[in-house]
Amino acid sequence: MLPAVFVAHGSPMVALDDDEYTRALRGLGARQPRPRAIACVSAHWQLAGPVRVTAHPRPPLIYDFGGFPDALYRLSYPAPGAPDVAAEIVALLGAAGIAAALDPARGLDHGVWVPLRHAVPAADIPIVAVSLPAVAPNELLALGRALAPLRDRGVLLLGSGGIVHNLGRLHPDQHGAPIAPWARAFDHWVRARLETRDLAALADYRRAAPHAALAVPTTEHFDPLLVVAGSTGSDDQVTDVFVGFQHGTLSLRCVAFEPPPA
């Protein structure tokens, strides 16, 4: 069985960085066994209606950001798609009663390609993107349960977002600004719930977690974590791939849920 992983993709500028965080992503990509494909749920493809699954054999990049240096828009990441895996995902979701459809035109948004550019720099593992439905937390956990069989089929399930993501509270000119106490408290609360696999509390984070309204002013960056958590079992071991913040409030915590050694 392959791990399920949640990564914080941070700013698009991460694609150009070489630091402790991007080196942690490279270490994540070097882990074995090697997946036959990666299925990624990104904060930047949130849709109402049926879940969409990319079926493009050579998915283009989507530069879904503005005001950044030209070098960022010249980056490429020519990873292949996996239409066969996309069809598997649609079938799994349908069997679970979740409406889903193939999307043959959609490319990869920056929540997908920015972290994978470091984790899989050779761009030689096929990638399928799965849209993020705008639904309640318990339904996101159910989506993860429906996707869980992928882990036994050689597909790495990846969620890309951010545990604490409030752009209005960033210190954009201070990369290493002191961590805001409210941001640290929420990040630590979430990590503790993941350790004990308390999915009921995670689903109720808006009421149960400290400073939830500040840490998650909109849900799209937190929601991929719920999908990944829903795919895990009680025997999965929780490992921090990276722990840290940028700009005082932007959590870059990345977490892997790994099956116990055989």
Residue with the larger pLDDT of the pair 241 and 67: 241
Confidence at 172, pLDDT banded by 50, 70, 90: low
| Cis amide leading into 181 (omega within 30) | no
- What mean pLDDT value characterizes the chain? 94
72-121 per-position pLDDT tens digit: 999 999 999 999 999 999 999 999 999 999 999 999 999 999 999 999 99
Task: Give dist(CA 221, CA 161) in Å, integer.
Answer: 4
Which residues share a beta bridge with 253? none
Highest mean pLDDT of the ranges 60-69, 83-92, 170-179: 83-92
Lowest mean pLDDT among 25-39, 132-146, 226-240: 25-39
Task: Give dist(CA 207, CA 191) in Å, integer.
Answer: 16
Confidence at 154, pLDDT banded by 50, 70, 90: very high
Q: Which domain holds residue 161?
A: 4-258
Q: What is the CATH number of the domain that holds 187?
A: 3.40.830.10
Task: Give dist(CA 154, CA 215) in Å, integer.
Answer: 34
Q: Name the domain count of the chain.
A: 1
Which regions of 23-108 does DSSP assign to beta strands (E)? Answer: 37-47, 51-54, 100-103
pLDDT at 174: 65
DSSP state of 193: H
Residue with the larger pLDDT of the pair 10 and 56: 56
Residue that has been written with the tokens 């000119």 in this structure = 173
Helix (H) or strand (E) segment spanning residue 151:
none
